[in-house]
Amino acid sequence: MEDNKKSPATRKELQVAVGRFEDLSEAIEGVARNCLDDPFFKKAKELRGLAGQYLLFLRKEGETIGLSEFQTILWMVKSCLFLNIKTFKMAERKLGDFRATNPEFESLNSPGTNKEPWKGIKAVLYGPEFNDSREQYRELVRPLARKYLDQFDDGQLDHLERFLPIDYSQVGLRESVQAHLRENLPKIEKWARMSLEEFEEWIKTLSENDLKLLDEELASLNNKQDFSSVKWRIKYKPKKLRAVRQLRFGF
């Protein structure tokens, strides 16, 4: 949504952006061929196909549709390439009137046309069994998005974080995260209350598996929602997560 709050783009700038997204999609496809063959990467490929359909539509109709609609469809393209169902649904709502009067565009995401590419997205986005796949995809997309897109920051891939390896199929996600917190309270409190300097030194002593778990805990635990029963919070949470990923990935 933040893309649409910036100064309005010209039609020429939007047409240039179409080419950049085409290049980004092709680059992701090239790298993803060497990745895991699992439901996550299959879903990512389906959504790249949907992004391609939107880009073809813009190539065909880009001179005739409104600039706002053009920009919002590009937003949908980015949502598909980044597997972000939340921003995709926001863009769909913004295009309500346009979708109602443009059946050719509306059919692109309809059953029978593209096999409902968003169907089942929550399972691969939130299932802890796909932690490695999400992380692998995030790390291959990040440098490519920096290369091809003008307006990109790493935070646009936060929804591809690792999540705690817990079974929340029978209960809500927050309840399961809070149960993990209760079961591991002393260990979590130790690093949560560290200064940033202490934390940065401590994580250098951890194994790769311990760093993965720490990444999952930092991504899953929410200071506002999960710590009502204790008097402390995770100090410097964003900076600690950044320090873990800098140690793991070098950025």
Question: Three-class SS string for 144-187?
Answer: HHHHHCCCCCHHHHHHHCCCCCCCCCCCCHHHHHHHHHHHCHHH
Residue 139 φ/ψ region, left for φ over 0, alpha for ψ in the -120 to 50 degree band, beta for the rest: alpha
Q: Which two tokens stand for residue 156?
A: 């646009």
Dist. CA 37–CA 31, nearest whole Å? 13
**Taking the model in full, what pTM does it have?**
0.83
Is residue 111 very low, low, confident or very high in pLDDT (cuts 50, 70, 90)? Answer: very low
Radius of gyration over every alpha carbon of the chain, rounded to an integer in angstroms: 20
Q: What is the pLDDT of residue 37?
A: 81
Dist. CA 147–CA 143, nearest whole Å? 6
Handedness of CA 155, 140, 145, 45 (dihedral sign): negative
Dist. CA 107–CA 90, nearest whole Å? 18
Dist. CA 86–CA 88, nearest whole Å? 5
Q: What is the pLDDT of residues 140-172, one digit of tens each?
A: 999 999 999 988 998 899 899 888 876 656 566
Lowest model confidence (mean pLDDT) among 26-35, 48-57, 60-69, 101-110: 101-110
Dist. CA 190–CA 240, nearest whole Å? 13
